[in-house]
Structure 1
Amino acid sequence: MAERAESVWLGPVRKPMRVVMLASTAGVGLLAIWLIAGRLFFGSGIGLKQFLSPADTPSVLLTMIFGAVALFSASVYFADRRGPIEPQPAGFFDFVSLVFSRLAMIATAACVIVMFYEVVSRYLFVKPTLWANELSLWIAGFIFLFAGLYAMQQRSHIRIYIIYDLMPRWMQKLSDIVSVLLIWVFAFLLVWGGYNEAVDKFLRWETFGTAWDPPLPATIKPAILIMVVLVAIQALSNLIADWDKAPEHHSPLDEIDESEIEQMRQSIKD
């Protein structure tokens, strides 16, 4: 009952999704230990370079499959719970954006781990890596894109309300329509102008040109176009979800996170 009470979207599917998440995460962990042990003790020679062409190494391919399942299931599972400062999801596209937001949160933790590993390896053991900088850039690029979609779903992009709050509701709706239309025009023009380049980079699997040589251009460029389209869809979802809402008036107090302040108070008391 507790699982269902906390569920926003999944309902009875929440518990099986949790099982899939835990099982796939455990699988990734075991395979990672196997690969590391093979490299350290048996001279397997499998490193992050092999992860750029996983089809050539079955164990690496299996690790990446488990990793993809773990990331997807974890993102879906954690998207099924509403954060303290998150509004109640109401749009038809909200769940997709929330899944990407949880993926961005996981990726942020991964990026921190990569940078921490590089700092320790470089300054404590004097053995800098060839891949940490590129991998952190790669992850950070996707974090930026996913966070933009999440910010649109949360209505947290920078907005100036001085004139908007003075408008009657019908005029606010009209301005919202114009805003969404402009977003769609921007998305269309960006896809129109960048589609061929993105396809070319992806098809030739363009790499970064470094020692590790990850395919940043081949993945980031198409991802930009995809995420811009998703942002436009989310903007339309927001417009539909907010259509019948009562007029809102904003003040600087809206930016104060009461739940975070309360948590700080509790931590001070403890």
Structure 2
Amino acid sequence: MQEKSGSLIEWLVPLAFIFCAGWVTWHMPAFTLTWAKPEDPSQYDKLSALFARADITPNMTGLFGGYADAGDWLALILIPILAWIGMRTVRRAPMEFESWRAIDRLAVFIGRVTMMLVVVLCSVMIYEVILRYVFERPTLWANELSLWLAGFVFLCAGLYAMQQRSHIRIFLLYDMLPRALQRTCDCISTAMIVIFAFFLFYGGYGEAFDKFYRWETFGTVFDPPIPATLKPMVLVVVALVAVQAIINLISDWHAEPVIHTAADDIDQDELEKLKAAVGSDGTAGLDVTRGAIQSNTYKAD
């Protein structure tokens, strides 16, 4: 895959994906009431009240005899389109894992979305700090929104870390084994990941579906649907991590053995920049404070 070019589309597509996904998530009760109307009247009334309170476009009428309006359907349709565009336009950054298969593009694009979520999260926190300490008008939503975004960042970053092989691994014994035994260890670790994902999904599906269907909220003034979204998201991401682990196993099966050293943690690009900054002689006439080095010869009074 080509190295990252830094083009504007690599910023705009993840941001547009976040906006559409956020819009659909915020208006999910409209889709639930349209596709799977609860038979329990109390549950129906609760979802209707949640939708009426959270609807960003209350003046727009629903389409196809449901609650979801044109804006909701447009955002839903754009999500897979933007994901496809993002997977086609994503480029490898210099510090990222070199071997990319076409199927890895989804994990890498989710990694780009996660990076932009961090930007959004920091923006929300800065906005809250300015309003709270400069204008003395704190918001009622910034704290819960930060928690919500941080949960998605934590989960999605795990998938990206798996694709990049950057998760924590202990190589002390692994590097000493012949390649055949290394492949055996890789198979065992991948099988353990898949088994864990299976039982987590099997044991947590019922509760996650119930929270999602009831659209359980956080219970604050802002009242975001953190339980209703993060609980199913845990299962989805863990399943994707298991799939990515299998993809990594297939991709690395014929790879040459790698001997890991302490130098693996050093960013060569950053090291070259430091060398250029201090000079080939070590300090280039400057001390650690960037000031001129004092001469060792002293002039006579």
- Fold in common (TM above 0.5): yes
Counterparts of 1:52-63 in structure 2, within 5 Å, are 52-54=54-56, 56=58, 58=60, 62=71
Which SS does the other structure have where 2:167 is aligned? coil
User: Please, which of 237, 241, 247 is the counterpart of residue 257 of structure 2?
Assistant: 247
User: Which residue does 1:226 correspond to in 2?
Assistant: 236
Bigger Cα displacement from structure 2, 52-61 vs 223-232: 52-61
Counterparts of 1:171-210 in structure 2, within 5 Å, are 171-210=181-220
Label 1:203 to 1:20 Cα distance change in 2 as closer, same or farther (>3 A).
same
Gaps of 5+ in 2: 20-50, 62-68, 280-301
Query: Does residue 1:126 correspond to 2:136, yes or no?
Result: yes
Identity %: 42
Label 1:58 to 1:112 Cα distance change in 2 as closer, same or farther (>3 A).
farther
User: Which residue does 2:295 correspond to in 1?
Assistant: none
User: Which residue does 1:34 correspond to in 2?
Assistant: none
Give the AA of the match of 1:53. D
Gaps of 5+ in 1: 9-14, 29-48
Q: Which has the higher helix share?
A: 1
Q: 1:199, 1:85 → 2: CA distance?
A: 38
Q: 1:139, 1:202 → 2: CA distance?
A: 17
Give the AA of the match of 1:56. P
Is 1:7–1:81's contact at 8 Å kept on the other side of the alignment? yes
Q: 1:50, 1:255 → 2: CA distance?
A: 52
Which SS does the other structure have where 2:156 is aligned? helix
Q: 1:104, 1:62 → 2: CA distance?
A: 24
Q: 2:11, 2:265 → 1: CA distance?
A: 37
TM-score (norm 1): 0.76
Which SS does the other structure have where 2:228 is aligned? helix
User: Which residue does 1:33 correspond to in 2?
Assistant: none
User: Which residue does 1:162 correspond to in 2?
Assistant: 172
Q: 2:94, 2:247 → 1: CA distance?
A: 22
Deviation per residue, 1:94-143 (Å, 9 max, x gap): 11100110000000000000000000000000000000001111111000
Deviation per residue, 1:122-169 (Å, 9 max, x gap): 000000000000111111100011100010001111111011001000
Deviation per residue, 1:54-113 (Å, 9 max, x gap): 463549984995699599469816962111111224345311100110000000000000
Is 2:159–2:240's contact at 8 Å kept on the other side of the alignment? yes
Cα RMSD, aligned residues only: 3.6
Is 2:10–2:86's contact at 8 Å kept on the other side of the alignment? no
Bigger Cα displacement from structure 2, 212-221 vs 75-84: 75-84
Aligned positions, number: 236
User: Which residue does 2:22 correspond to in 1?
Assistant: none
Counterparts of 1:1-270 in structure 2, within 5 Å, are 18=9, 21=12, 52-54=54-56, 56=58, 58=60, 62=71, 69=78, 72=82, 76=86, 80-91=90-101, 93-264=103-274
Q: CA deviation at 1:261?
A: 2.8
TM-score (norm 2): 0.68
Is 2:3–2:93's contact at 8 Å kept on the other side of the alignment? no
